[in-house]
């Protein structure tokens, strides 16, 4: 691949996130948005004209059939990801899939197997926050042994009102329908949380999950739209070796919005906001010095980064350099198994094995 001067990319689904990918891939060196596909022909024609994209199709199969196309980016509703990814991989294309990569671990496993058979890269946008400056700083401290033995982690992401199709982005009301989306807040945003967790703890081995899911805030709902996914959930995750993880995530809750990861170690602890962009960085280190507890806020002169662009850049580099992407399909399988365990636990009102 390194001998080819340009990676030709096709983007399938050009709604809100698809348009972000068009704009992002256009600025990546050695990359060209060569084709787009969407069933909304008016939107398709407008995007093709505005961004001078030579190939525009109303059917994704026509895009995948292009011989000079190297990779496809899937930005369609979640329940269609497996079908499109399998078709793209079978046609010899590398695949980057929006989150969640699949609606089940079994579906993700099929995609991974097809990618291996085809000898192509399969990457997931679930790992885009692995590139967050605060996550990178946390990983640096952990790998340097600065925290000592890590015995407990909390992942907390509370949004007061952030339900797709209700509180923002009306066109994404399909996210409320379990038959299409696969799940609610714990799947939609939870894949980010758990991907960050796996990026920080390479040898994480989850054994049991005990959790709940809640649906039913008394607020206006869209008419004629199925709404059967959770708005709020949480779990206690027990891992091999004694590590415990408390994980909470909401689309909507009667509480102030806040995102924090707290990592507790025998020598020191850290707290940070993994979703913050450069101008809003929060990062603190808690440790003892000379027998006294101190709190340190390290210099936050982190480089600017783009939450959308980072994972796309890594995907293109993986193709060019013939290496694995930062966020693999195998990672997604592990994440989805935890989320599936959470849903089983919530249904049974008891802890379950992973």
Say whether both 230 and 122 belong to one domain. Answer: no
Say whether both 268 and 154 belong to one domain. Answer: yes
Say whether both 135 and 109 belong to one domain. Answer: no
Last residue of a domain, one of 105, 127, 149: 127
Q: Is 104 helix (H, G, I), strand (E, B) or coil?
A: coil
Q: State the chain's maximal CA–CA distance in angstroms.
A: 67
Q: Which one, of 21, 133, 28, lies nearest residue 72 by Cα?
A: 21
Tell whether 323 is covered by a domain: no
CATH of the domain at 188: 3.30.360.10
* φ/ψ (deg, to 5) at 169: 45, 75
Say whether both 145 and 274 belong to one domain. Answer: yes
Say whether both 184 and 65 belong to one domain. Answer: no
Convert the pLDDT of each residue in 65-79 to its tens digit. 999 999 999 999 999
> Are the CB atoms for 201 and 130 separated by under 8 Å?
no
pLDDT computed for residue 16 by the predictor: 94
Please give the residue range of the domain that contains residue 223: 129-307+336-353
Last residue of a domain, one of 112, 127, 142: 127
Residue ranges for the chain with pLDDT beneath 50:
1-2
pLDDT computed for residue 186 by the predictor: 98
> Are the CB atoms for 342 and 110 separated by under 8 Å?
no
Say whether both 254 and 347 belong to one domain. Answer: yes
Say whether both 120 and 135 belong to one domain. Answer: no
Tell whether 324 is covered by a domain: no
Last residue of a domain, one of 127, 162, 181: 127
Tell whether 301 is covered by a domain: yes
Number of domains in the chain: 2
Tell whether 198 is covered by a domain: yes
Tell whether 319 is covered by a domain: no
pLDDT computed for residue 176 by the predictor: 96
pTM (predicted TM-score): 0.95
Say whether both 122 and 136 belong to one domain. Answer: no
> Are the CB atoms for 192 and 99 separated by under 8 Å?
yes
Say whether both 120 and 133 belong to one domain. Answer: no
Say whether both 68 and 181 belong to one domain. Answer: no
Tell whether 318 is covered by a domain: no
What does each C-alpha distance from 265 to 7, 142, 180, 300 come to in angstroms? Answer: 44, 9, 40, 22
């Amino acid at each position: 691949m390194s001998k080819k001067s340009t990676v030709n990319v096709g983007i399938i689904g050009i709604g809100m996130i698809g348009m972000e990918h068009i704009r992002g891939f256009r600025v990546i060196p050695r990359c060209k948005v060569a084709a787009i596909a969407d069933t909304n022909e008016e939107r398709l024609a407008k995007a093709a004209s505005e961004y001078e994209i030579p190939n525009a199709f109303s059917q994704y199969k026509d895009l995948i059939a292009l011989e000079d196309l190297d990779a496809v980016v899937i930005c369609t509703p979640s329940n269609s990801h497996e079908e499109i990814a399998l078709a793209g991989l079978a046609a010899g294309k590398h695949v980057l899939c929006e989150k969640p990569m699949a609606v089940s671990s079994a579906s993700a496993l099929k995609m991974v197997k097809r990618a291996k058979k085809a000898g192509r890269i399969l990457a997931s946008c679930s790992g885009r926050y692995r590139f967050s400056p605060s996550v990178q700083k946390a990983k640096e401290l952990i790998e340097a042994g600065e925290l000592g033995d890590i015995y407990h982690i909390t992942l907390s992401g509370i949004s007061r009102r952030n339900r797709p199709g209700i509180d923002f982005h009306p066109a994404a009301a399909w996210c409320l329908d379990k038959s299409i989306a696969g799940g609610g807040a714990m799947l939609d945003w939870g894949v980010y949380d758990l991907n960050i967790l796996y990026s920080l703890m390479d040898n994480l081995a989850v054994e049991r999950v005990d959790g709940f899911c809640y649906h039913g805030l008394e607020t206006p709902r869209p008419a004629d739209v199925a709404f059967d996914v959770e708005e709020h959930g949480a779990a206690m995750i027990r891992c091999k070796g004694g590590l415990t993880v408390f994980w909470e995530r909401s689309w909507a809750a009667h509480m102030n919005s806040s995102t924090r990861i707290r990592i507790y170690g025998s020598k020191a602890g850290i707290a940070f906001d993994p979703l913050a962009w450069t101008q809003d960085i929060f990062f603190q280190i808690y440790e003892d010095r000379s027998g006294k507890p101190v709190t340190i806020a390290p210099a936050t002169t982190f480089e600017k980064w783009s939450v959308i662009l980072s994972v796309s850049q890594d995907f293109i580099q993986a193709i060019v350099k013939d290496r694995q992407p930062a966020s693999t399909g195998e990672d997604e399988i592990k994440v989805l198994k935890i989320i599936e365990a959470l849903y089983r636990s919530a249904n049974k009102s008891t802890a379950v094995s992973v």
